Amino acid sequence: MSLLVLWGVSVLIFAIARVIPGNPARVALGPNATQDQVDALAAALYLDRNILVQYAFWLRDLMRGDLGRSLYTNRPVTQDIAEFLPATLELIFLAAMLMIVAGLPLGILAARFRGRWPDHVIRVFSLLTVSAPSFVWAVALMLAFAYFLPIFPIAGRLSEAYSIPRVTGFLTIDTLLAGNLHAFANALRHMVLPAVALSLSGIGQAARLTRANMIETYEKPYIEMSQAYGFPEGRIARTYAFRPSLIPSLTIIGLDIAALLGNAFLVEAVFGWPGLSRYGVQVILRKDLNAIVGTVLVIAALFLIVNIIVDILTVLLNPRIRLGEARP
């Protein structure tokens, strides 16, 4: 099913990229290029053919692992994606960890102290983080912790003082492979502000949903029985109420993490983060057809992978789903 979805995405984005007004060959060559030069580039890109023929040529190249050449960078699109994707994945991984490590405990705490001041504080925090978009938090965090309190760096992935050989593209891994712990710490400091800006909305969403699900779970008979037996409240919250409440929260967190792939471009633009989302915006503005389709396909594929992982975790967490699927 995921492969069918990817094929549908490729058809849709390929068609949309071709109907956007403007001549990609003219945009790439600039206003000073002659019409003969524009026609030659259009022919090289098969833009002078029917759209079905164009898609057939593109699909043929895709089967060979070739996404075409970018008119923006004048390099193969696969090379651009290999360069920019690790930066975005590194940022999103840290943001996802923050969403899980902060959002779920806040939801548990709010449900456990329902109607008291911790619950009220967490609810206000959740509403505030969900209401404001990520780029607003990006600017606010930059002003607070990079300008007024110069604790974290403003832009980029690594300070110019460090020179780390590229091995995987993930700076946190490459710095460890190089054995440079100072560069590793520097790379982490560069990631903190953009990752927090990206994760705040997801933290609030996870906290709100976990709180609501746990409050509903607290009304179940087995929770009342646990309380009647005198089990500690902390044990009831962590062991008996949290796991059944985790499944809906896990689904939403998975969707939020996957959505970060497409929504990270504003945060990357604010912090000058050289990631795939920022690259995607640049190629859209320049109507770089091959790069647009390649970028969207990669984001769609990652989105599907995250959803598959969430489905697998849901089956592992809920024995009823696992046993139901095992029956003939």
- Burial class of residue 145, CB neighbours in 10 A (0-12, 13-18, 19+): middle
pLDDT given at position 195: 92
The Cα-based distances of 179 to 69, 71, 123, 209, 301 in angstroms read 36, 37, 43, 41, 33
Residue appearing with tokens 């037996």: 229
Range 49-60 average pLDDT: 84
320 — pLDDT class (breaks 50, 70, 90): low
Residues 281 and 132 in one domain: yes
Residues 214 and 115 in one domain: yes
Q: Count of domains in the chain? A: 2
Residue appearing with tokens 């795939």: 276
pLDDT given at position 221: 80
Structural domain harbouring 44 = 2-63
The answer to whether 257 and 96 are in contact (CB under 8 A) is: yes
- C-alpha to C-alpha distance for 103 and 285, rounded to whole angstroms: 35
* 122 located within any domain: yes
The Cα-based distances of 178 to 106, 165, 172 in angstroms read 37, 8, 10
The Cα-based distances of 208 to 136, 237, 306 in angstroms read 21, 16, 22
- C-alpha to C-alpha distance for 222 and 224, rounded to whole angstroms: 5
* 301 located within any domain: no
What's this model's pTM, rounded to 2 decimal places? Answer: 0.83
Q: Comparing 31-35, 229-233, 281-285, 288-292, which segment has the lowest mean pLDDT? A: 31-35
* 314 located within any domain: no
Residues 58 and 162 in one domain: no
Residues 93 and 26 in one domain: no
Residues 139 and 55 in one domain: no
* 74 located within any domain: no
Range 32-39 average pLDDT: 76
* 52 located within any domain: yes
The Cα-based distances of 53 to 11, 25, 57 in angstroms read 13, 18, 6
Q: Which residue intervals of the chain are DSSP H helices?
A: 2-19, 24-29, 35-44, 51-63, 77-98, 104-112, 117-131, 134-142, 171-177, 181-218, 221-228, 233-235, 242-263, 265-270, 276-285, 289-317, 319-326
- C-alpha to C-alpha distance for 272 and 284, rounded to whole angstroms: 18
- C-alpha to C-alpha distance for 218 and 245, rounded to whole angstroms: 10
Range 60-67 average pLDDT: 85
**HEC assignment per residue over 218-264:** HCCHHHHHHHHCCCCHHHHHHHHHHHHHHHHHHHHHHHHHHHHHHHC
* 196 located within any domain: yes
Boundary of a domain, candidates 10, 33, 63: 63
- C-alpha to C-alpha distance for 19 and 7, rounded to whole angstroms: 19
Residues 95 and 239 in one domain: yes
The pLDDT tens digits of the residues spanning 114-141 come to: 888 888 999 999 888 888 888 888 889 9
* 319 located within any domain: no
Residues 88 and 176 in one domain: yes
The answer to whether residue 56 scores a pLDDT higher than 80 is yes
Residues 270 and 126 in one domain: yes
Residues 141 and 39 in one domain: no
Give residue 245's Cα distance to chain centre.
Answer: 24
The answer to whether 56 and 247 are in contact (CB under 8 A) is: no
pLDDT given at position 202: 87
- C-alpha to C-alpha distance for 89 and 75, rounded to whole angstroms: 21
The Cα-based distances of 211 to 201, 219, 247, 277 in angstroms read 16, 13, 13, 32
* 72 located within any domain: no
Strand, coil or helix: 69: strand
Q: What is the CATH number of the domain that holds 159?
A: 1.10.3720.10
Range 292-318 average pLDDT: 85
Residues 90 and 41 in one domain: no
Strand, coil or helix: 162: coil
Residues 220 and 248 in one domain: yes
As a residue count, the chain comes to: 328
Residues 171 and 102 in one domain: yes
